[in-house]
Amino acid sequence: MSELERDKKLAQQLSAALVAGESEGFNQWPECFAALSAVFLTQSHSLRARKPSKALDKRFGADGAARFLEQHGRLGGQILLCLQQQSEEGVYRFNRHTCRVFQAFLAHVDAFKAARRQIDFVDAEWRVLQLLRDEPAAAFLQARLDARYSHVLLDEFQDTNPLQWQILLAWLDAYSDATRPGVFLVGDPKQSIYRFRRAEPKLFAAAAEFLENNFAAARCEQDTTRRNAQPIVDVVNALFLGVPEFEPFREQYSLAGSAAGRVELLPLCVAEKEEEGETNASPREGLRDPLNEADSEPVDSRRRREAEHVAAKIRQIVGAD
């Protein structure tokens, strides 16, 4: 099909859609917009390529061809903007409905636990924060904490989550200069491994800045280790050097002397073809009650096979084979 024939076909589709829109009203306008999009956009929703050519000059004249190309780019851009807004509106509706569902779900979970007089660990954290922010209760708790603790040592601070930091901040921020305890934080953001419990390694820098500004704390950097040989430390340095989240990064050094060491990368275990998309249970109908029925997990042997590879490598290293 020639370009001229294609344009004639698109024009006929657009004309038919516009006529239907005028006669049938608002309900027909989505089809009108779809027809209009087909004139200016490809099936992948990118602007149709239109370039100056002798054929265009012949059809529209030189001035008409230039105006045609300008209008094509401008109107096509407006259509792309409308499509983007439609997409954003769809995302907004989805998020709004999802939030409403989760609000109802959380209310049901709270009622479920309240009826059984139970709380989980996150509930305990949240209630402690509420107590420390409630003026009558906070004053009582602060007095008890003041009387009991004069020094606070927090180890593995890189695994602190934002809610836990808010609890500490509500406690420490309420002290006056004369009554402040000694606070000692120990941690290494590179070793944060509890993201599944919402640990946020960036809190370490925020906490250090807070203590420096409000507790006159001194920052002590430790760049040496006795745990690992230098070849292993070299790999750590190579991994973290230049990563924006860990800037400024200080190179690490081993105090293990000339101890031998190496880092080996085991091959990734890929899912076997028969496992892809499989589940332990046949497809179910209706919704699952998450409070009383566990979700079926896909059949995936990668973790088991990965563990077997690691165990075999350890046996090889220690000479057990």
**48 close to 41: Cβ distance less than 8 angstroms:** yes
CA distance 77 to 95: 27
Model confidence, pTM: 0.59
CA distance 54 to 71: 18
Q: List, as own/partner pairs, every contact residues 1-5 make where C-beta atoms lie below 8 angstroms and the sequence separation is at least 24, other chains included.
A: 3/55, 4/55, 4/59
Q: 244 is written with which tokens?
A: 């924006």
Q: What is the pLDDT of residue 92?
A: 96
Cα-to-chain-centroid distance, residue 98? 17
All residue ranges of the chain with pLDDT < 70 are: 1, 24-26, 273-285, 297-299, 320-321
pLDDT single digits (tens) 179-192:
788 999 999 888 88
pLDDT single digits (tens) 267-312:
888 877 655 555 455 556 677 777 788 777 666 788 888 999 999 9
Residue 41: phi and psi, rounded to 5, are: -120, 155
Q: What is the pLDDT of residue 311?
A: 93
> Which H helix or E strand runs over 45?
none
> For the packed helices 29-40 and 54-115, what is the interaxial angle rounded to 10 degrees?
130
Q: What is the pLDDT of residue 124?
A: 94
Q: 23 is written with which tokens?
A: 């006669």
Q: Which of 73, 60, 71 is nearest to 3 (CA)?
A: 60
Instruction: Report the CATH superfamily, name and number, of domain 119-220.
Output: P-loop containing nucleotide triphosphate hydrolases (3.40.50.300)
**271 close to 244: Cβ distance less than 8 angstroms:** no
CA distance 222 to 157: 15
Residue-range domain boundaries for the chain: 3-112, 119-220, 226-263, 266-276+295-321
pLDDT single digits (tens) 54-69:
888 888 888 888 998 8
